[in-house]
Structure 1
Amino acid sequence: MATVAAMQPGWNLGNTFDAIPDETSWGNPLTTQAMLHQVRSQGYKSIRIPITWSNHHGAAPDYTIDSAWLSRVRQVVDWSLAEGLYVLINLHHDSWQWINTYPTDSTTVMNRYSALWRQIAGTFRDYSPKLLFESINEPQFAGTSDDAQGDQLTNTLNTAFVRLVRQTGGANATRVLVLPTLHTSSEQPRLDALSSTFTALHDPNLAATVHFYGWWPFSVNIAGGTKYDSNVEQDLTASFDRVRTTFVSRGIPVIIGEWALLSYDYTRPGIIERGEFLKYIEAVGYNARARNLTTMLWDAGSFLDRNQLRWRDQGVFDMMKASWTTRSGTASSDQVYVPHTGTIPSRTLTLNLNGTTFQGLRQGSTALAQGTDYTVSGTTLTLTSAALTRLAGNRAYGVNATIEARFSQGAPWQISIISSDTPTQAAATGTTSSFAIPTQFRGDQLATMEAKYADGSGAGPANWTSYKEFWSSFQPDYSAGTILLKPEFFAEVNDGRVTLTFHFWSGKQLTYYITKSGTTVTGGTG
């Protein structure tokens, strides 16, 4: 428990040694001492180094690990330990590359799995106890009859892992070993199965691990899951409560070995609205801390720019860092839309105080005047017409000013003042492989899209909902002035007419009609 507590907070060196086939294959630069120093300097206490071994060892029966690969892994582990970081290493994408064939090829898989762990454990046998081993990332199995069988196979691998690592002696006799549930799921049956493994092993130096990527509709922006709402909150608290009750309350530590949102990616902006993501970050930090859970951020390059050694969004990191020790206030939105022309009315936001006290608004170093620029009644913050008119300046489309709500503790809450008009769209022709709707966004931003047939049923992929998945089915291109409808969307659309409804963050909606005939698509507003 003390070791895992000392690892909070943790960070993942994602898409690096787990990349296939090599360290830089998935777009990240070579790991350097300077990068690890930067991670440590930002307050992180531990680093998870996911490692895929599949392409870096020889044939049966020895499965000898490539010496250059093992040396490179060891170098980065050494650098990390020298920085004072706790380190967690594992078998990563091996889970779906070959371990998943265990149900039909158990002898080969077990021999390979055991050979790899015997070599890894031998290499690091006398290393500091600040190095931890994780048996396997996200265990999964092909062809099982149900998850209960998957639980049994996960137990078999976890048990073999603990026994063979312990048999190598040295520091491995007491090293903290980390065991996942099937799929690293936090569903209760998966937790119960892992709990049984812990009971049977009766080893005081084991930790449990699950992953957490939030309520799925919000995590990928599908089914209208655009906001951090009660569904997201309840999913979060229920998951964390389950692992606390099942493990932490019994003295078994839990590592949330990966957390983020599935579709948060700096290369695909707009899927997750920034303010809604900030609310999620704040809640994950608070709820994990309240339950003594150690969290390890999944960072495949979307948070830390490893070339520049700086955060891609400093405000996102500031919210994370604040959440390690305290709560931060937020609001119902981080956007206030005002009209591009005409009179600007007052606007209200609801403050989410989260135990803090509202202290005021600032624009840069200038304090806004309470009573003149804004008023507060309970948790209702009202920005006056006069203040918004001043902040909107020349009222060019887009963000005209950014102000901050300050609270008694935690990170400030940024609020963008955005000038916009109702977007407009025009007729278009194209094909199922290339179709773009001409769109003048006029300062607004797209939140989601619905697609329905004439009978009101959902059109396109995931037809159980009319709200399609952002970026997978549709994608705004603000610079080109288009909304792209993806081939993946049309692949599951029947011939005929489909009604699209575009929902914008200002609250505005547009209706657009497309007609598909084979590979030909036409569209228009009427």
Structure 2
Amino acid sequence: MSVRRLRTSRRRVGVIAAAVAVLLLGGVMMAVNAGAAAAGCRVAYTVASQWQGGFTANVAVTNLGDPVNGWRLAWTFPSGQQVTQAWNASVSTSGGRTTATNASYNPAIPTNGSVSFGFNGSWAGSNAAPTSFDLNGVTCTGNVGQPSPSSSSSTPPQPGDAMATVAAMQPGTNIGNTLDAIPDETSWGNPLITRELLRHYRSQGYRSVRLPVTWTNHHGPAPDYTIDAAWLARVRQVVDWALAEDLYVLLNLHHDSWQWINTYPSDKANVLARYRALWTQISTTFRDHPQRLTFENINEPQFANSTDDQSYPLLHELNVDFVNLVRRTGGNNATRVLVLPTLFTNADQPKLDALLATINGLNDRNLAATIHFYGFWPFSVNNSGFTRYNAEVEQDLIGTFDRVYNTFVARRIPVIMGEWAVLNYDHNRPGVQNRGELLKFFEAVGYQARIRNVTTMLWDAGQFLNRQTLQWRDQGLFDLMKASWTTRSATASSDQVFVARSTAVTNRSLTLNLNGASFQGLRHGNTNLVDGTDYTVSGSTLTLTASALTRLLGDRSYGVKAAVEARFSQGAPWQISVISYDTPIVANANGTTSAFAVPTQFRGDILATMEAKYADGTPAGPLNWTTYKEFWTHVQPDYTAGTLILKPEFFAEVTDGARVTLTFHFWSGAQATCHVTKSGTTVTGTTT
């Protein structure tokens, strides 16, 4: 987590998990001398996911002969499959023969180098994998000039195969705000890590854990910076427990990044001495541990008073120093996978390019890149009106995965998304994101990670798994995440159907986003609803009939009256809440800038966002580029007390004496309006 997210961390509290069908044509790659004149190639064809009538495949081509500049890979589908969409290559079909041609940015494959592309396809009857490929007219037999040896896809990753090691880590989770808490493990409200917790993660399908560790408060002074023996033993205990539970582990320096590493530009000698001392001790302690332990040198690296262009060479120096230092400690560290971050672990292209240059210069095949992803910022914190998972939010997500794939994965450099979630999701602050919109985001992350071969590690600081009870705080959300490791889940335009109590009940429709699935039916509790009577489906439109809604609404008192599950041929079900409501009513209020709340009759409705405008229509309060304010930071609903709370952070940036019109937007589509005026620390609110 960054220093910005650290401020709320105490409150703010998965691409290959199951087996996938892998066809390795030719098996183990044979050694080829530099400059060999013979031609040869190897192809790994992977069906990453499959659904009725469709599938996603990834293809990795390794050149075992002379360097290639401009490639064409051809094959025949044994079951008549068709490619419908491709990435990182252009794909065409003629006479039953399918041909993939390089994109403009990936024409070169050096000797022993690889290139990857992927596609979505359709099938009927069966989806058998191709049995033969040829590269530029040469059949890929797996070696040069002789039949290839046999191989097994179950062979565990070996030193030197960072791609396989990182793939085996998918999916992963963080144990956040714990060993990285300041000053001690339980300081930020989480319990001590137990072996039972690690066993539970493994039982739920996780293959790796990231252990963020802050070392600052646990070592002595210069020049030795000796790590406290008890602290080092505790970290080792947790690492050993995780390994014993068959988990991979990613161990790092965490909040040290902003506590002292960020002063590197002005204090190079001292920072470097401390950095080297800590990593020397950590590396020496763990050098004989198995390769399932990996090291990440710095969490979210940043440098004080430095531009990005000034920071790139600084991070390059620390990354290179880390790799050289760890390698020198010997043992398994000689080939251990080491994970290097981009600046801020951001996935903007210049930051990716800077890290790529570092990795290329190191010429070490046991390196991986890491970035973090918390989604499109306005959506992830609910400000600027981004309450829904819309096209802009989705394009930000897809663009991130495209960039990391094209920059690293396509070049056989593995990527770990070391943290991901949305910034302000927290079980203690319900409603920051609508649950259905959040589910769409999580489903899309799982899908993009899977087709782009990116290993993901959920940022969980206690907001997803209750570590006291070892139960998921939202089982449905976890079920969807788990499904995304192997397939897609269908979603819908909303997970809520609002029916006004003051009007007659009529049919209500939702648009289904099938994501390759087929609709199977609706269920209420243990009862299957009846097609044609309780609902109808036409194309992607699901309609609940008035008669079914009348039955589900019961006495029509305000609130959620029923939960209906839409079930599909694959993935997690989609839950739809049937809600009885009327337009909320707000009342006059008086208070102060530190304690002001608008009395509100919610009448079954749910707050989505709030707008604030001055009389001339310009934005009022914080975020002066938008009229929409940030959920919970500036406005917070209290459904139990019946109030809408305006926070001191909102009034801190409101012009004294100016009348501000507040428009509260609710998920039913209803709105309620009031006006507030600040005079010093006094606030008056009226509805007229």
TM over 0.5: yes
Q: Give me the TM-score of the superposition, normalised by structure 2.
A: 0.76
Residue 228 of structure 2: which of 66, 76, 90 is its match?
A: 66
Determine whether 1:225 maps to 2:383: no
In the TM superposition, residue 360 of structure 1 has moved relative to its aligned partner by 1.2
What's 2:536 paired with? 375
- Once residues 438 and 676 of structure 2 are traced to their aligned partners in structure 1, the CA distance between those partners, rounded to angstroms, is 32
Which piece of structure 1 moves more, 389-398 or 255-264? 389-398
- 1:301-340 equivalence runs, <5 A: 301-340=462-501
In the TM superposition, residue 72 of structure 1 has moved relative to its aligned partner by 0.3
In the TM superposition, residue 510 of structure 1 has moved relative to its aligned partner by 1.0
Deviations 1:426-455 (A, max 9, x none): 000011111000001010000000001111
In the TM superposition, residue 372 of structure 1 has moved relative to its aligned partner by 1.0
Determine whether 1:47 maps to 2:243: no
What's 2:687 paired with? 525
Residue 118 of structure 1: which of 277, 280, 289 is its match?
A: 280
Which piece of structure 1 moves more, 328-337 or 371-380? 371-380
In the TM superposition, residue 148 of structure 1 has moved relative to its aligned partner by 1.4
Which amino acid letter does the alignment assign opposite residue 206 of structure 1? L
Residue 85 of structure 1: which of 218, 227, 247 is its match?
A: 247
Which amino acid letter does the alignment assign opposite residue 319 of structure 2? N
Which amino acid letter does the alignment assign opposite residue 256 of structure 2? D
What's 1:483 paired with? 644
What's 1:244 paired with? 405
- Once residues 479 and 431 of structure 2 are traced to their aligned partners in structure 1, the CA distance between those partners, rounded to angstroms, is 20
Determine whether 1:447 maps to 2:608: yes
Residue 141 of structure 1: which of 303, 325, 341 is its match?
A: 303
In the TM superposition, residue 228 of structure 1 has moved relative to its aligned partner by 0.6
Gaps in structure 2 of 5+ consecutive residues = 1-162
What's 1:104 paired with? 266
- Once residues 233 and 247 of structure 1 are traced to their aligned partners in structure 2, the CA distance between those partners, rounded to angstroms, is 21
- Once residues 456 and 53 of structure 1 are traced to their aligned partners in structure 2, the CA distance between those partners, rounded to angstroms, is 50
In the TM superposition, residue 172 of structure 1 has moved relative to its aligned partner by 0.2
In the TM superposition, residue 340 of structure 1 has moved relative to its aligned partner by 2.0
- 1:509-524 equivalence runs, <5 A: 509-524=671-686
- 1:368-407 equivalence runs, <5 A: 368-407=529-568
What's 1:364 paired with? 525
What SS does the corresponding residue of 1:391 show, helix, strand or coil? helix
Which amino acid letter does the alignment assign opposite residue 94 of structure 1? D
Deviations 1:391-424 (A, max 9, x none): 0111121110000111110000000000111100
In the TM superposition, residue 339 of structure 1 has moved relative to its aligned partner by 1.6
- Once residues 558 and 200 of structure 2 are traced to their aligned partners in structure 1, the CA distance between those partners, rounded to angstroms, is 38
Deviations 1:12-60 (A, max 9, x none): 0000001000000000001111111111100000000000000000000
Contact 2:586 2:673 in 1 (8 A): no
- 1:460-499 equivalence runs, <5 A: 460-495=621-656, 496-499=658-661
Determine whether 1:202 maps to 2:363: yes
Determine whether 1:30 maps to 2:192: yes
Percentage identity across paired residues of the two chains: 70
Which amino acid letter does the alignment assign opposite residue 332 of structure 1? S
Determine whether 1:212 maps to 2:373: yes
In the TM superposition, residue 342 of structure 1 has moved relative to its aligned partner by 3.7
Which amino acid letter does the alignment assign opposite residue 392 of structure 1? L
What's 1:500 paired with? 662
In the TM superposition, residue 152 of structure 1 has moved relative to its aligned partner by 1.4
Deviations 1:298-319 (A, max 9, x none): 0000000000011001001000
- Once residues 74 and 395 of structure 1 are traced to their aligned partners in structure 2, the CA distance between those partners, rounded to angstroms, is 57
What's 1:430 paired with? 591
Which amino acid letter does the alignment assign opposite residue 445 of structure 1? I
Residue 165 of structure 1: which of 317, 326, 330 is its match?
A: 326
What SS does the corresponding residue of 2:218 show, helix, strand or coil? coil
Which amino acid letter does the alignment assign opposite residue 483 of structure 1? L
- More helix by percentage: 1
- Once residues 312 and 198 of structure 1 are traced to their aligned partners in structure 2, the CA distance between those partners, rounded to angstroms, is 39
Q: Give me the TM-score of the superposition, normalised by structure 1.
A: 0.99
Deviations 1:157-214 (A, max 9, x none): 1111000000000100000000000000000000000000001100000000000000
In the TM superposition, residue 341 of structure 1 has moved relative to its aligned partner by 3.8
Contact 2:512 2:542 in 1 (8 A): yes
Which amino acid letter does the alignment assign opposite residue 621 of structure 2? G
Moved over 2 A (4+): none
Deviations 1:340-364 (A, max 9, x none): 2441111110000011111111112
CA RMSD of aligned residues (A): 0.6
In the TM superposition, residue 365 of structure 1 has moved relative to its aligned partner by 2.1
- Once residues 341 and 315 of structure 1 are traced to their aligned partners in structure 2, the CA distance between those partners, rounded to angstroms, is 32
Structure with bigger gyration radius:
2
Deviations 1:198-250 (A, max 9, x none): 01100000000000000001000000011111011100000000000000000
- Once residues 677 and 374 of structure 2 are traced to their aligned partners in structure 1, the CA distance between those partners, rounded to angstroms, is 36
What SS does the corresponding residue of 1:243 show, helix, strand or coil? helix
Which amino acid letter does the alignment assign opposite residue 303 of structure 2? F
